[in-house]
Structure 1
């Protein structure tokens, strides 16, 4: 089924029920359906055709949600772009996917104008929200006027194997790549995730993560699929305000990332159970340290905590059933429903429990490939166990225990070779996070003429009295000698990607700059 059909079906089923809550707007299912149909008609009238790519260059706002479903209703492919994206990167995306249109906000129009001047893909239809004074920025059609179009049915003839989404990776190395996801891919992923999270139409899901980040985007997609309510916030910059919103809206689901968990755990005035409505908390983007998991469970005793692992190329791979947290706090669990996850060696052969290898994913949610990038596609999608399929080689190192539960070891290209030994940064980071005076930490390799690479740690303290010697002694008690950091540097904050994930590459660059 094409994904826009979930909105159409739930508008008929739930009508006036609240679908979306933002800081200034509440939209019912009827309203979200009607507005997206009007915008779809306007897009079609402006020349957007089936399978065209349309960029949604907006922050977390109700207009972005309307835009996504309007693009799908028009038979086109939506591509969410983070509102913090600069003009040169936006120009690259416009050119790469030959965007037919951009839906944006007035405050972002200067970046759009600069990107269009740099891009070779022209012409483009651009619709922008109006300025506070009610004016549409020069060079753009009025987004508000588009919403006044007659909500006519767009006959695009599309089916569920058409591309629904083109989502660009963060591009930490080289140019970003466009991950191709069909309606069928999104349907499979959202169904699997909502199954193990036990979501129902009664859920109220909070999302503070960017809609351009697939973890944030799927909160919208899953809510609309179910007929649930999504509370959309722009960020987690002011946690107390978010907590008030959780209480006011009766939020039941709270997706977070490790940096958010670290912020929560640094707050001193929180009492266990202070957010009583929460039914579950989920985490992905990077693994939560076991020490943080334990403290979150103390703060939220009635909420089920889901530790998960995924990547843009298939959305989600694994989850740890909450009842397994006590036995396997360091595990990211088992394959999500209707998925197979297994670990292989360099020859593609499955390895026994305890032996590290690359994680491979089979499932209907695996991407179709990278947009017009066959070489990169072939590295990630390779022949599977059956002659008719391709499977996803994640590039991540894992091991399994005797019962098949998976443990993240590290990125293949993150492994540090020191004194002839291989060190997974995550193993050292887990020990660092267990220190009560450390809020966040990232481990990198530092070139060393004798060792090959020395282990370096960048640390954010929650206790300013902790010293470098304290940290090294702590690590020496829990790690083999060659894994103990030789360099510890303190930071007020760690460098992060647009999605709030600590960036190992940027951390290494800041250390080099400091030298």
Structure 2
């Protein structure tokens, strides 16, 4: 009998029983079937349990996007543990902090990352096991007394059956660390129910099917990247996994060869595509949908994507790690509402509240976005004060809803528009200025490739908007022209006092513009 899917890893089990010989994963020249991923994850799960990993233990997966990362993710869940995917560029001090913060009992990593994880592991008081893929020699490698080679540890384990399950769907499945806008990283706690609900909702509006081939170029430490795998395996589709988008020509070649139908991206990736002179040489007609998350796409990006992917439906989406996804804009509404991030995802409710906490009912009134639904996180790992700021009483007794910290507005039809982060709002001349509004104007100027606006201290205004601008190759607009357009399109208190032209803007590991670095 094919099981129901009450736990997240049942998505893999379900697909492996239905489609054992179907290719589930294409990664760096390797093609693995659902049966192979099921068997290998069973063996690793059994090995983790044998080495002392217990129900609810936290396990960090510190790997590149790889076959091993995919197997490790499912194996940790099958061991009834809590998985946390860590970006492979994470440095030793931060890795040590993460190991300590969640008191991880195991670390799954690769030998080529030894220069980083060795020091971090030695500082950990709770780490008992390190499973190391790649070139591992127990006689030579003494990184940690619990170090063991991946292949050695799973060689004699059963692959036909997973450990006896103990979890239920309200137990934690994952901790996703997010740095947020300020302060130390926060561990977003997600239950099996949270993650299954999110995957179901997203695959519903994207109309995912078993025949889909989904591209994964974003890091799996980034929830947007991780969910590409979860969604694919939930549907029995194929995931084409790459380490990143550093070499776009090679990625596009793979997209064509593998017949990719789903292309998730971020503005950085789309900007790289727009600069490719050979982009028309690739037959991308198999791509049936393109997605973007975080905020509405600039209109110039929408036009560019329509040109590059002529047969694709383009989804502008918005979300945050604390609830995975908030809204999506139906592609049929893209032309008439290009600056909107759309409507609530299936099985989710949203509304706005004012500074007094009261629900806003007037169209286009700006307020904080509130999300209600089963995707809302369980809280921040061992941060009750931070959790209390985000999760507050909801409509029903005992329930909690998510106060996102994002300022938005709803139009007359109930479509959402992102205005800015509460902690990003610039207070200048006694007025509140949303950087997003200024950036939207800058993006309309021909030749502007990227734009970011922050508030900087100012003796007269308190804070003043400062704009950082990157031009497209071969294009140039002087500061005078930037200021002129802003003065024409914006209220006087919103016009940046300072402009800085740069060859590039700093990016986070997720490919987003890193405003903290600009500050």
State TM-score, norm by structure 1: 0.95
Matched, 1:500 2:506: no
Equivalent position of 1:115 in the other structure: 120
Q: Cα offset for 1:305?
A: 0.5
- Report the secondary structure of 2:197's partner residue: helix
The structure-2 alpha-carbon separation of the partners of 1:136 and 1:228, relative to structure 1 and needing over 3 Å to count, comes to: farther
Residue 308 of structure 2, aligned match among 269, 286, 299: 299
Q: Report Cα offsets for 1:5-28 as digits up to 9, x if no partner.
A: 111111111111110111131110
Residue 321 of structure 2, aligned match among 312, 318, 321: 312
Instruction: Write out aligned runs for 1:442-461 (5 A).
Output: 442-461=452-471
Q: Is the contact made by 1:131 and 1:137 (CA closer than 8 Å) also made in structure 2?
A: no
Number of positions where the alignment pairs a residue of Structure 1 with one of Structure 2: 507
Q: Cα offset for 1:133?
A: 8.8
Equivalent position of 1:512 in the other structure: none
- Report the secondary structure of 2:441's partner residue: helix
What is the rounded CA distance, in whole Å, between the counterparts of 1:23 and 1:471 in structure 2? 44
Equivalent position of 1:225 in the other structure: 234
Q: Report Cα offsets for 1:120-175 as digits up to 9, x if no partner.
A: x3342001113289988433200122332222431132211111111111254111
Residue 178 of structure 1, aligned match among 173, 182, 187: 187
Runs of 5+ consecutive residues of structure 2 not aligned to the other structure: 1-5
Equivalent position of 1:483 in the other structure: 494
Matched, 1:150 2:158: yes
Residue 26 of structure 1, aligned match among 25, 31, 34: 31
Q: Is the contact made by 1:444 and 1:457 (CA closer than 8 Å) also made in structure 2?
A: yes
Q: Cα offset for 1:440?
A: 0.6
Question: How big is the alpha-carbon RMSD for the aligned residues of Structure 1 and Structure 2?
Answer: 1.6
Q: Cα offset for 1:404?
A: 0.5
What is the rounded CA distance, in whole Å, between the counterparts of 2:470 and 2:317 in structure 1? 24
Q: Cα offset for 1:214?
A: 0.3
Equivalent position of 2:399 in the other structure: 389
What is the rounded CA distance, in whole Å, between the counterparts of 1:432 and 1:135 in structure 2? 59
What is the rounded CA distance, in whole Å, between the counterparts of 1:303 and 1:285 in structure 2? 20
- Report the secondary structure of 2:168's partner residue: coil
Q: Is the contact made by 1:397 and 1:410 (CA closer than 8 Å) also made in structure 2?
A: yes
- Report the secondary structure of 1:475's partner residue: helix
Runs of 5+ consecutive residues of structure 1 not aligned to the other structure: 509-515
What is the rounded CA distance, in whole Å, between the counterparts of 1:169 and 1:340 in structure 2? 24
Equivalent position of 1:511 in the other structure: none
What is the rounded CA distance, in whole Å, between the counterparts of 1:359 and 1:44 in structure 2? 42
Q: Cα offset for 1:364?
A: 0.5
Q: Is the contact made by 1:50 and 1:156 (CA closer than 8 Å) also made in structure 2?
A: no
Instruction: Write out aligned runs for 1:421-460 (5 A).
Output: 421-460=431-470
Equivalent position of 2:3 in the other structure: none
Equivalent position of 1:259 in the other structure: 268
Equivalent position of 1:378 in the other structure: 388
Q: Is the contact made by 1:163 and 1:181 (CA closer than 8 Å) also made in structure 2?
A: yes
What is the rounded CA distance, in whole Å, between the counterparts of 2:70 and 2:195 in structure 1? 16
Moved more, 401-410 or 450-459: 450-459
What is the rounded CA distance, in whole Å, between the counterparts of 1:426 and 1:402 in structure 2? 21
Q: Report Cα offsets for 1:78-136 as digits up to 9, x if no partner.
A: 111111111111111111111010000111122111112333x3342001113289988
Runs of 4+ in 1 over 6 A off after TM superposition: 132-136
Q: Cα offset for 1:468?
A: 1.4
What is the rounded CA distance, in whole Å, between the counterparts of 1:188 and 1:171 in structure 2? 23
Q: Cα offset for 1:392?
A: 0.2
State TM-score, norm by structure 2: 0.95
Q: Is the contact made by 1:266 and 1:439 (CA closer than 8 Å) also made in structure 2?
A: no
Instruction: Write out aligned runs for 1:379-418 (5 A).
Output: 379-418=389-428
